[in-house]
Amino acid sequence: MDGQDRVVTIIGRNLWETGNDAGGEMSPPPPPPPPRVVICVGDVHGYISKLESLWANLQSALPPDAFATALVVFLGDYCDRGPSTREVIDFLLALPSRHPAQRHAFLCGNHDLAFAAFVGALPPPPDGTPFSSTWGEYIQNEENEGWYRGPGHEGMHCQGRRWGGIMKEKRNPKRGSSYMGSIYDARPTFESYGVAHGSPELAPNLFYSTSMTCSLNITKFSKLASSSPTVKENVPIDTNEGQIICKLIAVHAGLERSIDLNEQFRILRTKDTKISKVAMLSGRQDVWNIPKDLAGKQTIVVSGHHGKLHIDGLRFVIDEGGGYADRPIAAIVFPSKELIRSTEGTSSQNRSRYHQE
């Protein structure tokens, strides 16, 4: 290639070399591509029509190239409450082939962990501890929550037993509605796969009459959904003072404020399933704020789980839907911090921009 300029790309860096022996002026290297747009999608909870509406609204709101190459982080809780968990899972499983230039991360929510536990897709504790060891912390609730006692319960994680159980108390005072079967409102998930609530036929290793395709898709998705947080460096964020570069951490419920961050990441990344209840997937007040380890650092923490939309500095809670039939599913887009919502079946506007006060 003597006499010609050439660009050599090594590990994402453009190293410009020249072979022009005549001493001519060298052309500048091309500008780097813009950073990927990052989209964080709140809890879906079995509402396929809302998910399809949100996806269409995202596609309409973003420039074609930005949407086609986006990193899309689903914040967890794909099942329960809504009527179409099976269709939601099929939709999500198809995304990598439908949008091959995008990157997709499917975080595990507390509902997804319980679903995986019931169908036998939860990885065993790394130290060989039996799942029955998780029962003790919550055993006082077994009768009131009507834990699952059918085939296979002896070797089931406590959250799987709670998920497949039947509540004695029919009214959920926190949500102002009736329980849908279990404390997790799992009955619609069972029904979306054509079986009665609490039926062992849902589990791939115990099924009798459900189709093989249904069983394989449940197992495939349960293994696809990751309990690990998504961590992305160098995410630009628009602020009133200009654009800043942040690290982004996405985890279903948030990170505990007073617990060592490395220990929290260890639990999530090793899938330490001997723990009865993982605060980063199920917590409330203890995961609401930015952890102390991240105070003063340019790190965004994004979660769903809490049944509301809340933005405070670099802490983003994106769960406007909360599994309620009349509320939209929301997503936030970085760097713009634009909120995009589903519009099917709701009266909400499909987009708005968050401004830092």
Amino acid in position 243: Q
Q: What element of type H or E holds 117?
A: helix 110-118
Q: Which of 111, 157, 252, 305 is catalytic?
A: 111
Sheet of 242-250, strands arranged across: 230-239, 242-250, 299-303, 315-318, 309-312
Pairing of strands 330-334, 177-178: unpaired
320, 328 Cβ separation under 8 angstroms: yes
Q: Indicate if 45 belongs to the active site.
A: no
The Cα 194–Cα 76 span in angstroms is 23
Q: What angle do CA 236, 318, 243 make, to 5 degrees?
A: 15
Tokens of 255: 């990170």
Peptide bond before residue 30 is cis, with ω within 30 degrees of 0: no
Q: Minimal CA–CA distance to 89: which of 255, 266, 271, 224?
A: 224
CA distances from 241 to 41, 80, 270, 356 (A): 26, 41, 39, 10
Amino acid in position 267: I
Tokens of 187: 């009955």
DSSP state of 25: P
- Largest distance between two CA atoms of the chain: 87
Amino acid in position 58: L
The Cα 298–Cα 188 span in angstroms is 40
The Cα 309–Cα 321 span in angstroms is 9
Tokens 């998705």: give the residue. 221
Report the catalytic residues: 111
